[in-house]
Amino acid sequence: MRVREPLVFSAQHVGRGGDVVCQSEAGELRLALEMQPGGDFCVWLRGARLVMPAAKERRLSTDERRLLAVHLRAWLDSSGRATWAIQR
């Protein structure tokens, strides 16, 4: 199953890091969240893997990564914090 809309995001903070979790019909994606010097936050899209319901894991296709990046940017922008970076 491919990653597609709707995508539901949430953030889990642990100290200076944590995860951005993305739920989709296909399964769950966890993206590393890291606080940078100066208070900026960085989300790591690079190396993202989809964990499917049957506990299988796979890398995202180029199209899935592109879709995820677009929706992630929109979600981050809606958070009210202006200092998000996405590492691809």
Residue 43 lies in a domain: yes
Mean pLDDT across the chain:
89
Q: How confident is the model at residue 44 (pLDDT cuts 50, 70, 90)?
A: very high
Distance CA 64, CA 72 (A): 12
Percent of residues, the chain, with pLDDT higher than 90: 51
Helix, strand, coil % over all residues of the chain, rounded to 5:
20, 45, 35
User: What pLDDT sits at residue 29?
Assistant: 93
Q: Which domain holds residue 71?
A: 8-87
Residue 80 has pLDDT above 80, yes or no: no
Distance CA 70, CA 40 (A): 20
Supply the pTM of this predicted model: 0.86
> How many structural domains is the chain composed of?
1
Residue 3 lies in a domain: no
Residue 43 has pLDDT above 90, yes or no: yes
**Among residues 12, 2, 20, 18, which one has the least CA distance to residue 58?**
2
Residue 1 lies in a domain: no
